[in-house]
Amino acid sequence: MSGACTKAAPPSCISEELLRRARRGDRGALGALLTLHRARMRAVALRICKSPADAEDAVQEACILVMQKLNQQREETSFTAWLYRVTLNAALIILRQRRQQEACAGTDFSRMWSAAYAIDPADPAVLPDELCEHRQKLRAVAAAAQQINPIMLKTLELRELNGMDGAQVAKHLGVSIEVVKTRVHRARAALQDLTRSAMS
């Protein structure tokens, strides 16, 4: 490192060195730089989103934008200020999406799940025990859906029940495919855990 940055370099010097390397195309340095600032980015996002899961989505979106647009950030301006502004904007977008979707996401998902996995009681191949267990599972799924983050649930609904692929869901919600994958994974895991718990 140059200038005042010594072996016992403070975080600001480490950040400056990583930024210099990142501007030269060093992806590892950029990843390390974002890791260095991640806690602060998350705090910024959490103040807006309130939800830890939504804040994490905002941070992920911000990291993707930084990777795409670092070469557009003017070197004479503060990288840190720009980074936190990108995070703030990502958090505001997530918050706006949540407010638009949370009113109906859980109910829609429960109803659509029931329709997609319905069993015909008149089907002679369906045993009474199977029908009873199926109805019990549907009730458990509906109850579990009410406990899951509405935005994650809406993403899972579009992906699993509406037949959209990841790119279509991302376009519909205005987020990246990476965020769609993260939300689907989290929602699927939460739904399985909550349903299993309700039926045990």
Looking at the fold, whether 20 and 78 belong to one and the same domain comes out as yes
Q: 161-178 pLDDT, tens per residue?
A: 777 899 999 888 888 899
Burial code of 47-56, b = ≥16 C-beta within 10 A, e = fewer?
ebbebebbbb
| Domain assignment present for 83 | yes
Domain interval for residue 156: 105-199
According to DSSP, residue 9 is labeled: -
What was the pLDDT predicted at 97? Answer: 73
pLDDT higher than threshold 80 for residue 38: yes
Would you state the pLDDT for residue 125? 63
Largest distance between two CA atoms of the chain:
82
Q: Are residues 114 and 156 in the same domain?
A: yes
For residue 86, the model assigns a pLDDT of 94
> CA-CA distances (angstroms) from residue 170 to 20, 61, 97, 128?
32, 12, 12, 41
- pLDDT higher than threshold 80 for residue 51: yes
Q: What is the mean pLDDT of residues 45-61?
A: 92
The span from the CA of 49 to the CA of 162, in Å, is 27
Q: What is the pLDDT of residue 80?
A: 92
Statement to judge: residues 162 and 88 lie in one domain:
no
Q: Nearest Cα to 113, choosing from 105, 121, 103?
A: 105
91 vs 58: CA distance, rounded Å: 5
CATH code of the domain covering residue 45: 1.10.1740.10
pLDDT value at 108 more than 60: no
Sequential DSSP letters for 74-134: -TTS-HHHHHHHHHHHHHHHHHHHHHHHTTTHHHHHHHHHHHHT---TT-TTS-HHHHHHH
Torsion angles phi and psi, residue 15, rounded to 5: -60, -45
Please return the burial class of 23, using the count of CB atoms within 10 Å of its CB with bins 0-12, 13-18 and 19+.
Answer: middle
How many other C-beta atoms lie within 10 A of the C-beta of residue 5?
A: 14
Q: Assess whether 94 and 110 both reside in one domain.
A: no
Any domain includes 2: no
* Between 42 and 133, the higher pLDDT residue: 42
Question: For the whole prediction, is pTM greater than 0.85?
Answer: no
